[in-house]
Structure 1
């Protein structure tokens, strides 16, 4: 081993001793598990963000308030079941997503599933970092690239601390969002009536988004992080704690965030509103033209988007550190710098297309894992390099979802992908089982 390698390992061990081991390559032992309060802060601080409010605005603009609310509720209940079941697997075995995927997709095959999701989550980090820079730049007239770099460096720092960093940013971000988000929604609502908000029919009075597409938007917003939920839930002490922490995110935190944006949009009824421009809670607070509120809005934006960015970067770094055999904190720095570079290219502008892609390729991964670990091979271990059955089912779910999106746009691609992927895996496993049993 080269001298510099041993020196790097010693430095990594010192950092782990100071900040805590992250267990990139091994299960989290019982004595290292965290309290229900801590895991809840990690999860609730993830979706309670301004981007969730923007998504709520998009849903209300496209569907009208009443139908958008139905999509929010149904979509979040689906996420509760999906994320809750996957998270419980991580809790029971102490596995992160990469370790869990190696059981289902194979000791080598997991690289495709984990690598894909880790890369998508790095993309989310870049998207949210870019949104931070864009909102600050457009509101305060500051340089976009400079503000993006500042944001990215701050978010890398939070991630570097590890799961404790996610705990601490949630401790700050959640109360800020609850106070400012609810104030924004109620203040906007005071300009009209709740009856008018409920009756809001969509942008310029026209609803253009089907229920299926609305459900896809709700589910796809966190389907990638929800699929790798084991990265977070492996820290829970019991399956009960795992489920309660998940509930704090879906439906609670996610619906709160979406309703903040949705109520504001329906109340103000701005024609052709742009939630990614000034027509969001951040823009609303600055539009009040009160110096103290603008300063608070600035701090809020960095803290709030810092929460989602650090979560995404943590997931990405955990996955890639397992794949490359490296250290999570080293991966976080390298990937974070790469994300900052990508963010400077305004990748966040492709937000809707990004959600559409996630709704096609990600849901079958989680569905295959759920069917395998709860129905087909509960408690199994990684006993093969590749498990073709899992990949065939994944492909089947994604292909059907693609066909649904292109030919049946009124249906939900995310749900189609989940159902087909899970059913395909169950059927193929049932067919193969008699052939593999000894005579």
Structure 2
């Protein structure tokens, strides 16, 4: 497929003619941050934290997520490159295959898990075969993103964002009413107390993998500074609302699972429709991003790779649902350092990012690989918030090792 027909621009920078305005990007980012899994995570926090600690953890966590994701989004909008093309500059042409594979594997996994998360409750409610539902919705979700790309994400977002907002607000209203008012809801004692550091790790860790891929969605932005602000606000508003929706209902009924909460609130049918639409947008975001990653490795168009990834995710949905947690735990520590390296390299070598040719001169940058390994080490062994430790560990070590490498080259008379 020629580049002129690849409307996802998987192998080149997004041209000015394809750039989009702030309103379109706002809907796309809100659909990304209106993440169903955040409602489940919010349910965990709602049953484990006091009112004040919940909102403090939510604000700090989403602020950290917003800054991290907005920085990557700014770089994507400034250069027009996807996360995977940006990785070529810091990891090398073939070295970028490692982050592309890890990021794509995560998103294929989320696609399969999302299918199962939707199909199982629908099967229970309707009596339809769960495998039939997984196959049907897997095909539909794959088709929408494969043939429409970023446009499909925008169209679905315009519908899904208001819908999930209305359902979430109604669920909160029911929770407040059922507990006897807002003061009674605030005074509920946590049934499964969480430490503040654990809560912060849940807020940050639940989304940082997707946050690493922010550049894939906002590289279409006309103004990088506007993109930065949109992303910050999307996390502070969008992702925070999803946590609040999940936490309020969970605190009122004493269950963390958002499906159980909405069934208890008598919202089964609206939940199936609206949460299904929300999962659809989440899955299409995942499939779109995974297609870009595999395109970087194979050289095939992202449309082709999105379709292949959709088939894989659909066929493996049940297995992924049952076994993905362990793999996701590993990826949650392995992926944030990738973003740290990309950010560090961009601000060190900003002038190189004017042309993709500069991102193809080295096959593998071992400094980047080592920095990722150090980031994983920091995540595993240092106290604090695991994803933040991994990002800072990789970024700081990359800057230090890169500086040391340059000094050695200078001393040896090398460029």
Normalised TM-score (structure 1)? 0.87
Q: Which residue of 2 aligns with 1:340?
A: 314
Q: Which runs of 5+ in 2 are unaligned?
A: 353-357
Could you say what the CA RMSD is over the residues aligned between the two structures, in angstroms? 2.1
1:92 lines up with 2:69 in the alignment? no
Distance 1:244 1:219 in 2: 19
Counterpart for residue 388 of structure 1 = 366
Match of 1:219 among 184, 204, 209: 204
The separation in 2 between residues aligned to 1:295 and 1:56, in whole angstroms, is 21
Change (3 A) 1:350 1:78: farther
Residue 4 of structure 1: aligned partner = none
Q: Structure 1 74/215 Cα, relative in aligned 2: closer, same or farther at 3 Å? A: same
User: Contact 1:64–1:200 (CA<8 Å) still a contact in 2?
Assistant: yes
Q: Is the 8 A contact 1:184 1:260 kept in 2?
A: yes
Q: TM-score, structure 2 length as denominator?
A: 0.91
Aligned to 1:5: none
Superposed counterparts of 1:304-383, under 5 Å: 304-345=278-319, 347-349=320-322, 353=326, 356-374=329-347, 376-380=348-352, 381-382=358-359, 383=361
**Which among 115, 119, 139 is matched to residue 153 of structure 1?**
139
Quote the residue 2:257 is aligned against.
275
CA deviation profile, 1:187-237 (whole Å, cap 9, x unmatched): 11111232232233322xx40x32222222212222122112111111000
In the alignment, which of 219, 230, 248 is matched to residue 263 of structure 1?
248
Unmatched 5+ stretches in structure 1: 1-8, 289-293
SS of 1:114's partner is helix
Aligned equivalent of 2:355: none
Displacement after TM superposition at 1:24 (Å):
0.7
1:199 aligns with 2:187: yes
In structure 2, C-alpha distance between the alignment counterparts of 1:258 and 1:115, rounded to whole Å: 29
Kindly indicate whether the alpha-carbon contact (under 8 Å) linking 2:100 and 2:296 is maintained by their aligned counterparts in 1: no
Match among 380, 397, 400 for residue 378 of structure 2: 400
Q: Find the partner of 1:78 among 39, 54, 64.
A: 64
CA distance in 2, matches of 1:144, 1:121: 22
Deviations 1:319-349 (A, max 9, x none): 111211111111111110110111122x334
May I ask how many residue pairs the two structures share in their alignment?
404
Give the distance between the partners of 2:409 and 2:351, measured in 1 at CA.
19
CA distance in 1, matches of 2:35, 2:210: 14
